[in-house]
Chain A
């Protein structure tokens, strides 16, 4: 008989690769490693809107939640933004592990996740710039393109490069793209197929380590965490953190690989950013990285070293 049943609120569709390939397997692992003393029930539908999921764990609406740090527009997760920059990782396993190692260890991620136990941190596969107007050869080709961006660093970067940036929920992208409201989108490969965008896109420009990324958390309600015995806590921690980063990264990678095949079959051209474009991205990116480094330096953190460590772990050279 389970001593503790944990309720996980999951807002991604039940068949999303992350839910199927990481959240549910991890929930089962928790039951295994605690020999059934702790079980996790993944709810079919979420207990709140996606952006509410961090607070939901803190307030105990659910026991375990996951979500994006960028859901909140306030400054709560300032140091997490290390995972949003360009040139961070070419696959989700190395990226997620580096993100966990650097953010959790060097940048004290737990301190920014106030009121919850931080169990997992991860990123998705490398972000790509997709559009249906032209193959981007120079920076001038970006000018005037209407690009949907998720907000944050990539929104600023695309605006710097001359694009008109638009915000909408990811579910709206299909309708807006097929009606010509937007010309393109910054997305992973996986999202391209998940949102049925292959018919409406033609060019996917790739940047070493991704043009952007998005950072995610997995957290547990503090009180619930403290209910669990020290032995079981240790068992859960052993399959969380870096191990979870590997699990979820592999799920993203598999989804990206399947998506790339489909994208290529649909005749979308995937190409590397030409040198002048890459140079412009590097310059703009450096300014944002510096601003972030300065901002967290005020709290006594070495952002430059953290970024260096991140890239050393993922092996991205640019």
Chain B
């Protein structure tokens, strides 16, 4: 997959926005990767443990749930920065000026939506904190994960906003790397 990316490596200016990819990879990227390893480990320890030691991992279910939430929202800025959200590039044939216009619109639209999500997630998390919502068995508080989600969306909104006010000058066909099903 990396080879695919290198071919596009002429880079973020082409996509508009900032050159923050490497910083993201080494911060939230490593965080999300670590969580992914944890998810693998939890399942393997749970399954192997119950055959060899006859003791299932109590709370594997809940740990998996909250870790998945953390993984998704840590990784969201990575996908947004690389512009990996699926888009359809049909009107791209209209010419570069239209292209820039569409990019600007899509960027600002995405920014507005992501900012709304950030606000709603923060409010949801605040409510969870007020109610004292925790998971059933391990009693892991849910509010921090909501705040994480909110921050992540805010950051994504920022990335999309930059792309909106500073759209790429010459748009290439939408990047379609691996990942979609």
B61 neighbours in A (Cβ, 8 Å)? 167-169, 172
Which chain A residues (155-212) contact chain B, with CB distance < 8 Å? 155, 164-169, 172, 180-182
The 6 nearest A-B residue pairs measured at CB: A74-B132, A167-B137, A151-B136, A74-B131, A73-B134, A168-B61
Our pick among B50, B133, B136 for the contact of A167 (Cβ within 8 Å) is B136
A76 neighbours in B (Cβ, 8 Å)? 131
Our pick among A72, A151, A181 for the contact of B50 (Cβ within 8 Å) is A181
A165 neighbours in B (Cβ, 8 Å)? 58
A73 and B56 contacting across the interface, CB-CB below 8 Å: no
Q: Tell me how far the C-beta of A173 lies from the nearest C-beta in chain B, rounded to whole angstroms.
A: 12
**Contacts A166-B58, A167-B59, A181-B56 hold; do A73 and B136 have CB atoms under 8 A apart?**
yes
A146 and B56 contacting across the interface, CB-CB below 8 Å: yes
**Once the chains are docked, how many angstroms separate the CA of A44 from the CA of B181?**
28
**Once the chains are docked, how many angstroms separate the CA of A146 from the CA of B57?**
11
Chain B residues engaging chain A, CB cutoff 8 angstroms: 50, 55-56, 58-59, 61-62, 127, 131-137, 139
Q: Is the interface of B mostly helix, strand, loop or mixed?
A: loop
**Once the chains are docked, how many angstroms separate the CA of A167 from the CA of B137?**
7
Q: Is A261 an interface residue (CB 8 A)?
A: no
Chain A residues engaging chain B, CB cutoff 8 angstroms: 55, 72-76, 146, 151, 155, 164-169, 172, 180-182
B56 neighbours in A (Cβ, 8 Å)? 146, 164, 166, 181-182
Our pick among A73, A151, A169 for the contact of B133 (Cβ within 8 Å) is A73
A72 and B62 contacting across the interface, CB-CB below 8 Å: no
**Contacts A167-B136, A167-B137 hold; do A72 and B131 have CB atoms under 8 A apart?**
yes
**Once the chains are docked, how many angstroms separate the CA of A74 from the CA of B139?**
10
A151 and B137 contacting across the interface, CB-CB below 8 Å: yes
**Once the chains are docked, how many angstroms separate the CA of A151 from the CA of B138?**
11
B133 and A72 contacting across the interface, CB-CB below 8 Å: yes
A73 and B58 contacting across the interface, CB-CB below 8 Å: no
B55 neighbours in A (Cβ, 8 Å)? 164
A172 neighbours in B (Cβ, 8 Å)? 61
**Contacts A167-B61, A172-B61, A181-B50 hold; do A75 and B137 have CB atoms under 8 A apart?**
no
Given contacts A73-B132, A73-B136, A151-B136, 16 further A-B contacts (CB under 8 A): A55-B127, A73-B133, A73-B135, A74-B131, A74-B132, A74-B133, A75-B132, A146-B56, A151-B137, A164-B55, A164-B56, A166-B56, A167-B58, A167-B136, A167-B137, A180-B50
